[in-house]
């Protein structure tokens, strides 16, 4: 009973805030409820953004054997405040021949897209900000407008580097959006619903009380989760796929002509997009707010969701501190020749698992389908010759 009190603490807090409006028209209650949800989501993720901006630099510093931020405040914890003040007082420079309206709207649009995507993810039991039957469809429909915002930034800047960076970003994002969406299809097929809440509910239950019924514990789910995670890295422009803003190649891509708070908005939108993609991965494959072991269900559901989200965000940072940036042709080849066929394979493997009764036989047949296609692709796409050792010759 005490566990339920903590688990539903935020739900009851919202009910207390709405209590004075009891008896008001329905539309007033709906608007008030929506505003509370919006401010809650913004408050939580703006705080998380500030926190991870420090932790990422701390973790990268640890990986690279150096100190992270350690001057502003105790242990450098006030660094986000310093960064925010710096961005607010920096001069906002707009090119003389830029399309000023498009240039202004691009960062707003890309940030709004990421915030909207965060609104349909269930963060705990009865804690979905906006319950939509087609929540998964809404997530991808809203997310697809990111390409338009990036194009607006490149085009509106009236700069060749910005335009080239925008086109590279759009090509990369469209290429990886296909496997991102296709790896979601097996989950939607198996559950038979597009609602994130229904998907989390379908992953409830445990075998022997210790093995959760998460989709990531099935062969097709594990493969789809890895593909989804890699695609999410690309969609978030994270290392090793941060080609659109590769400073050594193309200045800062579509953000070249942005400064001050507009640049900070792009930076924030990138992190919000990372939160949204990671949150959807937790919802689709890692059981959402479900506990990993039956005996730990007394811990509030939202704690489990944010623990899983934090784990994925740590892997994002770990990868950034470990891998170098890849070339554009390597990224595109990987998307169309490997990621896309494997994504379709996950759909077939999920169907086999389902029609084999979702038991041990289905598990083995599903694993066989994944393994056969993976081995075939690894043989067909043998890259050993392409990355053979090079002989460098210098002028005498």
The model's pLDDT over 106-156, given as tens digits with 9 standing for 90+, comes to 999 999 999 999 999 999 998 999 988 889 999 999 988 888 998 999 888
Rounded to 5 degrees, φ, ψ at 207 are -95, 120
Contact at 8 Å (CB) between 273 and 142? no
User: Closest Cα to residue 13, out of 298, 302, 304, 305?
Assistant: 302
Residue 351 has pLDDT above 90, yes or no: yes
* Token code pair at residue 24: 């008001």
Tens of pLDDT, residues 21-36 = 888 888 889 999 999 9
- Answer yes or no: is pLDDT of 386 > 70: no
214: left (phi over 0), alpha (psi -120 to 50) or beta: beta
- Would you state the pLDDT for residue 250? 61
In this prediction, residues 232-247 reach a mean pLDDT of 79
Q: Structure pTM?
A: 0.91
Q: Evaluate if residue 48 carries a pLDDT over 90.
A: yes
Question: Residue 395 above 90 pLDDT?
Answer: no
The number of CA neighbours under 13 Å toward the Cβ of 388 is 4
Residue 1's pLDDT is what?
Answer: 46
Query: What is the separation, in whole angstroms, between the first and last Cα of the chain?
Result: 82
- Closest Cα partner for 156 from 204, 91, 109? 109
What is the token pair recorded at 335? Answer: 């998307």
Note the pLDDT of residue 249. 62
Average of per-residue pLDDT values in the chain: 88
Average pLDDT over residues 173-200: 93
Instruction: Check if the beta carbon of residue 308 is closer than 8 Å to that of residue 145.
Output: no
Tens of pLDDT, residues 56-106:
999 999 888 888 888 888 888 898 899 889 888 888 888 888 888 998 999
What does the alpha-carbon distance between residue 13 and residue 283 come to, in Å, rounded to a whole number? 24
Contact present, 275 and 94 (Cβ < 8 Å): no
pLDDT tens-digit map of 264-289: 898 899 899 999 999 999 999 999 99
What value does the mean pLDDT take over residues 368-375?
94
| Whole-number pLDDT of residue 90 | 86
Q: Is the pLDDT of residue 394 over 80?
A: no
> What pLDDT does residue 383 have?
60
Instruction: Output the pLDDT for position 2.
Output: 47
> What secondary structure letter does DSSP report for 25?
-
| pLDDT tens-digit series, residues 301-336 | 999 999 999 999 999 999 988 888 888 888 888 899
Does residue 387 have a pLDDT over 80?
Answer: no
Helix (H) or strand (E) holding 11: helix 9-18
Q: Which residues of 356-371 are buried (b: 16+ CB within 10 A; e: fewer)?
A: eeeeeebbebbbebbe
Q: Which residues pair with 211 in a beta bridge?
A: 207
Please list, in sequence order, all residues whose beta carbon lies within 8 angstroms of the beta carbon of residue 267, skipping any fewer than 6 positions away.
none
> Per residue in 251-268, pLDDT tens?
667 888 888 888 889 889
Q: What distances in angstroms separate CA 167 from CA 126, 161, 194, 214, one per listed residue? A: 41, 10, 31, 38
Q: What is the four-CA torsion angle of 139, 145, 146, 150, rounded to 10 degrees?
A: 180
Q: Quick one: average pLDDT of 223-242?
A: 89
């Amino acid at each position: 009973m005490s566990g339920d009190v903590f688990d539903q603490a935020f739900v009851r807090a919202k009910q207390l805030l709405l209590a004075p409006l009891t008896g008001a028209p329905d539309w007033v209650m709906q608007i008030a409820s929506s505003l509370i949800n919006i401010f809650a989501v913004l408050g939580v993720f703006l705080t998380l953004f500030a926190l991870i901006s420090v932790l990422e630099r701390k973790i990268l510093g640890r990986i690279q054997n150096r100190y992270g931020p350690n001057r502003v405040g105790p242990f450098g914890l006030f660094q986000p405040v310093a960064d925010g003040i710096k961005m607010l007082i920096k001069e906002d420079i707009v090119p003389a021949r830029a399309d000023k309206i498009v240039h202004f709207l691009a960062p707003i649009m890309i940030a709004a897209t990421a915030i909207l995507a965060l609104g349909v993810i269930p963060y705990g039991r009865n804690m979905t900000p906006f319950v939509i039957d087609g929540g998964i469809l809404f997530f991808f429909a809203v997310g697809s407008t990111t390409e338009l915002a990036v194009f607006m930034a490149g085009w509106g800047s009236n700069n060749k580097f910005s335009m080239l960076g925008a086109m590279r970003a759009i090509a990369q994002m469209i290429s990886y959006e296909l496997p991102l969406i296709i790896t979601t299809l097996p989950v939607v097929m198996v559950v038979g619903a597009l609602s994130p809440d229904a998907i989390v509910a379908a992953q409830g239950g445990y075998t022997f009380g210790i093995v959760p019924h998460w989709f990531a514990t099935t062969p097709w789910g594990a493969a789809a989760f890895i593909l989804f995670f890699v695609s999410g890295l690309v969609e978030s422009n994270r290392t090793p796929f941060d080609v659109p803003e590769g400073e050594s190649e193309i200045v800062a891509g579509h953000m070249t002509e942005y400064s001050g708070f507009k640049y900070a908005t792009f930076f924030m939108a990138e992190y919000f997009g990372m939160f949204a993609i990671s949150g959807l991965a937790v919802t689709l494959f890692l059981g959402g707010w479900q506990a990993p072991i039956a005996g730990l269900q007394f811990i509030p559901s939202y704690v489990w969701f944010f623990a899983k989200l934090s784990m994925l965000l740590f892997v994002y940072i770990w990868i950034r501190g470990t891998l170098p940036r890849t070339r554009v042709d390597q990224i595109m080849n990987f998307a169309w020749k490997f990621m896309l066929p494997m994504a379709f394979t996950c759909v077939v493997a999920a169907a086999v698992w389902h029609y084999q009764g979702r038991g041990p036989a289905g598990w083995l047949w599903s694993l066989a389908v994944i393994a056969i296609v993976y081995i075939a692709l690894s043989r067909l796409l043998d890259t050993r010759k392409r990355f053979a050792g090079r002989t460098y010759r210098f002028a005498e």
